[in-house]
């Protein structure tokens, strides 16, 4: 019983624990997959961003290393709002999900 509980806890921590993005090579960022869409939801507490790409909603994990910018200036995730048009460059960390490496907020182009 203890072994099973340990395995469940370990899997939960592996899946949902802090997701490091510091292993991302900055030179690789322009070659990363990128999506563009409207912000459907921002979870500032859970560090998640949900983007509607015109039919699909994609959830991204936002880490302390995620670059968030608006018109060339660094901003925080707290400055991103529902309805903002964003571009997200990301990496797929498999069990941790899609990790946002760079978020560009084009808030002037709101839905």
The total number of structural domains that make up the chain:
1
- What pLDDT does residue 107 have? 80
Separation of alpha carbons 50 and 60, rounded Å: 6
In a domain, 90, yes or no: yes
Range of the domain at 90: 2-106
CA distances from 17 to 27, 70, 95, 96, 108 (A): 26, 28, 10, 8, 34
Q: What is the dihedral of CA 73, 36, 23, 44, to 10 degrees?
A: 70
In a domain, 21, yes or no: yes
- What pLDDT does residue 7 have? 36
Please give the share of the chain, as a percent, with pLDDT higher than 90. Answer: 60
In a domain, 12, yes or no: yes
Check whether 1 has a pLDDT greater than 60. no
In a domain, 41, yes or no: yes
Query: Domain with 97 in it: what CATH number?
Result: 2.40.50.320
In a domain, 52, yes or no: yes
49-84: per-residue pLDDT in tens? Answer: 999 999 899 999 999 999 999 999 999 999 999 999
């Amino acid at each position: 019983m203890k072994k099973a509980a340990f395995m469940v806890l370990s899997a939960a921590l592996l899946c949902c624990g802090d997701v490091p993005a510091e292993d991302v090579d900055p030179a690789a960022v322009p070659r990363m997959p990128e999506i563009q869409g409207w912000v459907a939801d921002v979870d500032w507490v859970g560090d998640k961003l949900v983007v509607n790409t015109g039919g699909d909603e994609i959830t991204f994990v936002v880490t302390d290393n995620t670059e968030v910018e608006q018109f060339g200036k660094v901003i925080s995730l707290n400055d991103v709002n529902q309805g903002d048009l964003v571009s997200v460059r990301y990496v797929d960390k498999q069990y941790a999900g899609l990790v946002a490496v760079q978020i560009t907020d084009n808030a002037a182009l709101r839905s």
